[in-house]
Amino acid sequence: MFRWIVARDLTLAWRRRADVLSTLFFFVIVVSLFPLGIGPETQLLRLVAPGVVWVAALLASMLSLGRVFQNDYQDGTLEQMLLTPQPLYLVVLGKVLAQWLVSEVPLVLIAPLIGVQFDLAPDTLWILFVSLLIGTPILSLIGSIGAALTIGLRGGGVLIALLILPLYIPVLIFGAGAVDASISGMSPQANLYLLAAFLVVSLVFAPWATSAALRISLE
Amino acid sequence: MPESGEIRWQGADIRSLAEEYSRSITYIGHRTAVKEELSSLENLRISSGLAGFEVNRAEAQESLSRLGLAGRENLPARFLSEGQRRRSALARLITCNTKLWLLDEVLASLDRAAGMLIESVIGEHLNKGGIAIVSTHQELHISAGSFQRLELAS
């Protein structure tokens, strides 16, 4: 059941590759614009790098979130998913996992590469990668709540951003904080542990909240 | 939404049964839940799998050809006509072995021949002791079992 959902969403994403690539290119382009705009001052670039990369990751995840439930809602698949004999929690977890694999993992993988534009040291690039690896699933999980609440609404995309971006702030602070710490030669451990704690909490509660939101939206 | 009342399945409120109730129904509504990017075969296998009835390729193929989609199983659903999409959604009735069928406007966008096919599928289900609740604007000719007609004037 769980694997049906994940396999299905991955197949669908593969057939609609353009959607997935647009998120990735958005991320790459936004991050690349900053070095071009700021100029070649390496000191300054290094200083803004964590914030820029992380903010771009948040915005990129906004782009893909609208699609998590919208298409399934429109063609009636979501109704069917609510009627499956398995807990809705698993359905949601499967969909979120697929969304993360499709939209966030490519971004995590390419982040160290575009981090080079900001003159980050190899150690720091590694921390950037790890912080995104822990942080992006939280974005998917929290974002799914917003996506579930706004299905079927016109202008849902803007509403998701208003609902969800404030909730992303702690992730942004600790994610960028970890990279910051690494740049200034301190240990990023504390920040990463906090991110991991957020991940565990959102893994437990977010699918549950999303299930409730889906039930409300589809009544 | 109704304001009061409850729906019972085998004596128990469906809200308290939750997943147990879902296991015994197949619901096919206005929106067919057929994904345009997937072929009828994939659509059927996935929707059956989601409903808890895993079917292999051969079984899925068989129920699709029963509904007259032989030779079109591997075509992405966006190339199918509305009636063909509907039939590929209805193929789930054959693969999912549930007791209660809830069918909303089951004959919509089907021609007479396909309509008769669906009627015979429903008839078989009734003969096996199944239940079907069907809402429709067209005349439904079910030869088997007992059935009640409820006329709803607007």
- Contact predicate A51/A128, CB 8 Å: no
Q: How confident is the model at residue B1 (pLDDT cuts 50, 70, 90)?
A: low
Q: If you search the block for the tokens 């549930």, which residue do you land on?
A: B98
pLDDT of residue A30: 94
Q: What is the pLDDT of residues A185-204, one digit of tens each?
A: 889 999 999 999 999 999 99
The answer to whether B31 contacts A4, with C-beta atoms less than 8 Å apart, is no
**Are A76 and B47 within 8 A, CB to CB?**
no
Contact yes or no for B50 and A81 at CB 8 A: yes
Nearest CA of chain B to the CA of A188: how many Å? 42
**Using a CB-CB distance cutoff of 8 angstroms, which residues of chain B are in contact with residue A8?**
46, 50
> Residue B23's closest chain A neighbor by CA?
A85
> In the structure, what pLDDT confidence band is assigned to residue A84 with cuts at 50, 70 and 90?
confident
A5, A76, A84 ranked by CB distance to B51: nearest: A84
Q: Which of B17, B21, B24, B46 to mutate to test the interface with A (most CBs of A within 10 A)?
A: B46
Q: According to the per-residue pLDDT averaged within each range, which of A36-50, A79-93, A199-213, B131-145 is highest?
A: A199-213
The span from the CA of B63 to the CA of B23, in Å, is 20
Statement: residue A81 has pLDDT above 90: no
Using CA coordinates, name the residue in chain B closest to A11: B38
- Please state the pTM of the whole predicted model: 0.89
Q: What is the distance in angstroms between the Cα of A211 and the nearest Cα belonging to chain B?
A: 14
Q: What would the pLDDT profile of A143-179 be if each residue is shown by its tens digit?
A: 999 999 998 887 777 888 899 999 999 999 999 999 9
Amino acid at A90: L
Lowest-confidence pick of A75-79, A96-100, B17-21, B62-66? B17-21
Count chain A–chain B contacts defined by CB atoms under 8 A: 63
Question: Of A22, A154, A11, A82, nearest to B35 (Cα)?
Answer: A11
- Of B84, B41, B47, B86, the closest CA to residue B60 belongs to B41
Beta pairing partners, B101? B26, B132
**What mean pLDDT do residues A42-53 have?**
92
Q: Residue length, chain A? A: 219
Q: Are B28 and B109 in contact (CB under 8 A)?
A: no
Q: Are strands B100-104 and B25-28 parallel, antiparallel or unpaired?
A: parallel
CB pair distance less than 8 Å for B31 and A8: no
pLDDT in tens, A8-19: 999 999 998 888
Closest approach of chain B CAs to the CA of A28, in angstroms? 28
Q: Strand, coil or helix: what is B13?
A: strand
pLDDT > 90: what percent of chain A?
Answer: 65
Nearest to B27 among A77, A83, A85 (CB): A83
What are the residues whose beta carbons fall under 8 Å from the beta carbon of B79, sequence distance 6 or more? none
Nearest to A103, CA basis, from A73, A163, A147: A147
Distance CA A191, CA A197 (A): 10
